[in-house]
Structure 1
Amino acid sequence: MAAKDELGRAGEDRAVAYLIGRGYAILDRNWRCEQGELDIVAHHRDALAFVEVKTRRTLDYGHPFEAIDRPKRRRLWRLAQLWVRAHPATAPGAVLRLEAIGIVGADPARGALEHLQDLR
């Protein structure tokens, strides 16, 4: 596995632990279809949260959230709708919410973590 992939996987593992600690129930990880991938799908209160995780060792190439621009958000919303169609029995009537977790640090297990809910 490439170092970049290992970093991303470690960041996603940290994000999952963080979300579980805040009462999220993880429903899916790394869900793929022809149009792309969702990092984490979780149920939280009355919402289905589709969580994009970005992990960086440093800020040399910008903050992780900068990588989630408008086209990326539109694509994530499309993927969220596809996930719901593929899983119709999961939380019917739930609100859909796009979230992001950014982690910065040489070790994702101890790096700074930021969580944004309800990206628009």
Structure 2
Amino acid sequence: MSTTDRQAERIGNSRRVAEEALKSGDDSPEFIETLTPKELGYLGEALACSYLEERGLEVVERQYRCREGEADIIAHDLDSDEIVLVEVKTRRASRSSAIDIYPEEAVDERKRLRYARIASCYVMEHYPVTSLRFDIIAITLLSGGAARITHVQDAFEWDAQR
């Protein structure tokens, strides 16, 4: 089995673990603590997809990949007729943590510039795209199986001239 095949298998396994946890409702703190960073990310993406769909957005694609990188979720906002590139950031809040966690702060200037390049690829592949926006969904998994979801719409601007 090649290295690429092993990586694909590990990614598939991580995604399955996260999706099965979501379906089974196993959101116990003990289970959440056992997730690898990849599994935690997939769980966050699955939660974000459910959140977006509940709000009337259509999830078009997950893990869109191009030469510039990966967009976690591509959605279509039916109300505004916009294509939405969504960056999902998921963090665990430790039981003893007294400080607030803000996963959305991880989307720094470098990541924003990368997302602009990813958007350029998406627009070229799916022409015509009439309107595009960037959202961030920050998910903090709290003790007791609860989650805090923060949706930052229009998180940053895109200058197509760059």
Alignment of 1:97-112 (within 5 A): 97-106=133-142, 110-112=146-148
Aligned to 1:94: 130
Find runs of 4+ consecutive structure 1 residues off by over 3 angstroms.
Answer: 59-62
Larger gyration radius, structure 1 or structure 2: 2
TM-score w.r.t. length of structure 1: 0.86
Q: Which amino acid aligns with 1:23?
A: G
Counting matched residue pairs gives 116
Greater relative CO, 1 or 2 (CA 8 Å, sep 6+): 1
Aligned to 1:53: 88
Please give the per-residue CA displacement for 1:3-27, whole angstroms capped at 9, x wherever unaligned. 1111000000000000011111111
Q: Which amino acid aligns with 1:103?
A: I
Aligned to 1:70: 109
Structure with higher helix content: 2
Q: Which runs of 5+ in 1 are unaligned?
A: none
Q: Which runs of 5+ in 2 are unaligned?
A: 1-13, 15-34, 157-162
Please give the per-residue CA displacement for 1:35-88, whole angstroms capped at 9, x wherever unaligned. 110000011032110000000002779521111011111111110121121122
TM-score w.r.t. length of structure 2: 0.65
- Percent identical across equivalent pairs? 40
Distance, in Å, in 2 between the alignment partners of 1:37 and 1:93 is 18
Aligned to 2:73: 40
RMSD: 2.1
Q: Is 1:117 the counterpart of 2:138 in the alignment?
A: no
SS at match of 2:154: coil
Aligned to 2:22: none
Deviation at 1:112?
A: 0.4
